[in-house]
Amino acid sequence: MVKRRIAQLVTAIVYNANLSGFVTGKIWQGSSKGLCVPGLNCYSCPGALGACPLGSLQSSVAGMALRFPFYVFGLMLLFGLLLGRSICGWFCPFGFLQDLLYKLPTPKLAKNSLTRKLTSLKYVIGIVFVLILPIVFLELNGVGSPAFCKFICPAGTIEAGWLMTALNPGLRSGLGLIFAWKSFLAIVVILLSIAMFRPFCRFICPLGAWYGLFNTFSFFGITVDENKCTHCQACLKICKLDCQKVGDRECINCGDCTKICPTHAIGFKKGV
Amino acid sequence: MRKILLVVALGCLAYGIYAGGIDTVLQKATFICLECVGIG
């Protein structure tokens, strides 16, 4: 747990190391912005040094013309193959924020059959808002629009929306219904994150949905030694996510189950 | 399976860089994304 917290903290700092941006309200415009970071981190956050893969994917698919986003797709495929959802558990600042919110001492909502069903929602959101709607906007208006960023992404609202409008009086004059809607969603996600473990990652995040597809065969992640496993289910009882099996598409490879396993059957892959 | 996907990933990445994918991302990411902020 300590190693994961350190990784999350270092990741949040490295992704957002343009500290002067938090004072001036100006975003980083260096060449590092051409590189997507693995986790969800809005590129309009005043501290961001890199680009958000989801935002980049939407603008690459349907910016000024419809095209296959080889660069962003290649990077996202590479990230997924290497790390799977370890990225969510270890290298995502928005996951880290939700982890911290969940630590607040309040009554908690446990996982159940409904939350398990809701995990499919993030795939629908990904297909509709990341792939289909940007193309629809392109066809209708001649210019694509990152629909997930525009209508949903609470990371963008918190890191970019709230921060940038607080730091730039000029931006405040353009605020309207979309900002109000996104702020409402962000507040809902924050409140839910206090009451339940990582609601955004479990039900909404298309990036987590994508990385989850690689979880079972990524180079790094959680693995179970079937020869040692007694199927006692202790791992699934301690898991705060909606996993039905250790290392499945919902597993963020946090490693909590490795400590509870009575036969030490669960561990991290060695990367080969 | 994952070795094939690794080759595909590296191939897409290499072609994407050759085709100017980094510039596309850079152009978007170096200006304030009004959609992300909630204005656009």
CA-nearest of A208, A139, A188, A68 to B13 is A68
Give residue-wise pLDDT tens across range A159-179: 888 988 888 888 888 888 999
CA distance A70 to B25: 12
Query: Confidence band (pLDDT; 50, 70, 90) for A79?
Result: very high
- Is the pLDDT confidence value at A195 over 80? yes
Contacts of B11 (CB under 8 A, 6+ apart): A74
pLDDT for position A167: 87
Q: State the Cα–Cα distance between residues A142 and A63, nearest whole angstrom.
A: 9
Alpha carbon A22 to its chain's center: 22
- Looking at residue A64, its pLDDT comes to 66
What average pLDDT does the segment B34-38 reach? 85
CB-based contact, B7 to chain A, within 8 Å: no
pLDDT of residue A246 exceeding 90? yes
Is residue A80 very low, low, confident or very high in pLDDT (cuts 50, 70, 90)?
A: very high
List all residues of chain B from 11 to 40 with a beta carbon under 8 Å from chain A. 11-17, 19, 21-26, 28-40
Q: Which residues contact A206 (CB under 8 A, 6 or more apart)?
A: A54, A122, A123, A125, A126, A129, A130, A148
What's the mean pLDDT when you consider all of chain A? 93
CB-based contact, A31 to chain B, within 8 Å: yes
Q: Give me the pLDDT at residue A145, please.
A: 86
Nearest to A74 among B9, B29, B38 (CB): B9
Name the band, by pLDDT with cuts 50, 70 and 90, for residue A99: very high
Q: Chain B neighbours among A 200-219 (CB < 8 Å)?
A: 217-219
CB < 8 Å to A70, chain B: 12-13, 15-16, 19, 21
Residues in A touching B12 (Cβ below 8 Å): 70-71, 73-74, 77
* Partners of A222 in beta bridges: A268
| ipTM reported for the complex, 2 dp | 0.95
- Residue ranges with strand state E in A153-252: 222-224
Percent share of chain A, pLDDT over 90: 82
Compute the distance between CA of residue A151 and CA of residue A41 in angstroms, rounded to an integer.
16
User: Residue A272 — pLDDT band, cuts 50, 70, 90?
Assistant: low
Per-residue pLDDT for A271 more than 70?
no
Mean pLDDT (whole number) for A236-264: 94
